[in-house]
Amino acid sequence: MPAAGSAPLNPSLSDLQSARVLVVGDAMLDRYWFGAVERISPEAPVPVVRVSREEERLGGAANVAINVKTLGAQCTLLTVVGDDEPARSLRRLLEAQGITTVLGSDPKLYTIVKLRVIGRSQQLIRVDFENQPEHEVLQQMLADYERVLPDHDAVLFSDYGKGGLTHIPRMIELARAAGKPVLVDPKGSDYSRYAGATTLTPNRAELAQVVGPWRDEADLHRRAHALREELGLDGLVLTRSEEGMSLFEKTADGQPTHFQVPAQAREVFDVTGAGDTVIATLAALLACGMNLRDAVPLANRAGSIVVGKFGTASCSFEELFGKETA
């Protein structure tokens, strides 16, 4: 494993504030209903929850956008929503976060909602509202993408497999032709649709779904480099939970190389959304002109910060770099 070089110069707050990241993907609204459980329903053997409090939070690609914005960079979210009440809630929450939106509207589409009913601090049920967007709306989304792409320094695709990234091969092609770094949080077992991206950020389970289980570290390296080569990636970033993060890339003369960043020891409260923080941090740093090798340790640190918080969280500039004047 090659040793890290000299410490890179971290971006200033003003560098990040001038960086522009375009987040494209499946945005969701996370809803929580909290209440007391005091009896069983006479209609069926299920608990009755008397709801006393409701919460709404941004999820999916919208949570990734929050992470970009919290770090200090400018962010635009391009997604498709329905013409319904959840879409209006999503728009309101995004505006409150200062995130620019390009929201395609499909009247036949349910804005993705994940409703969780919680009683006695236990999640009792999750109800999902979703369907697939229409072809015409996705074509308009591609046109919107081409229109806003020149105004951004990096592109981040957040794929949750909900149909909003049907045209991702063409989107990646356009971004790379324009010289923009492209980062993908992948989904599913077919990664060929992400060919030509700068980097993908699968976790261990997601990578194993594509390359198969590995016997040992050497076997993992062989499989990861083969995938990186097959897809034409600059680098493959593997998030490994308690094992930190691995970057698989190649040297200037084309030889495969591996850079391992160990996990930072800290108490883990909640891993929810840590992957969103990692890829958002990478995108913001690449938008500032930093390379992958230098950005990965910082993204790893950002991920370790958010797992020390309860619930879906994000990492600020001050938490990652310390206080600084812009």
Active-site amino acid positions: 276
Residues 262, 242: Cα–Cα separation, whole Å: 8
* C-alpha triplet 308, 313, 319: angle, nearest 5°: 65
Residues 324, 315: Cα–Cα separation, whole Å: 15
Residues 315, 154: Cα–Cα separation, whole Å: 19
DSSP 148-163: HGGG-SEEEEE--SSS
Residues 285, 67: Cα–Cα separation, whole Å: 12
- Please identify which residue in the block is written with the tokens 């049920």: 125
Is residue 165 within 8 A of residue 24, CB to CB? The reply is yes
The answer for residues whose C-beta is within 8 angstroms of residue 55's C-beta and 6 or more apart is: 31, 32, 34
Alpha carbon distances (Å) from 102 to 29, 146, 150, 220: 16, 12, 14, 39
Determine how β-strand 113-119 pairs with β-strand 122-129: antiparallel
* Beta-bridge partner residues of 215: none
- Please identify which residue in the block is written with the tokens 């930093």: 290
Residues 106, 138: Cα–Cα separation, whole Å: 9
Please state the separation of Cα 108 from the chain's center in Å: 26
What would the two tokens of residue 45 be? 């053997």
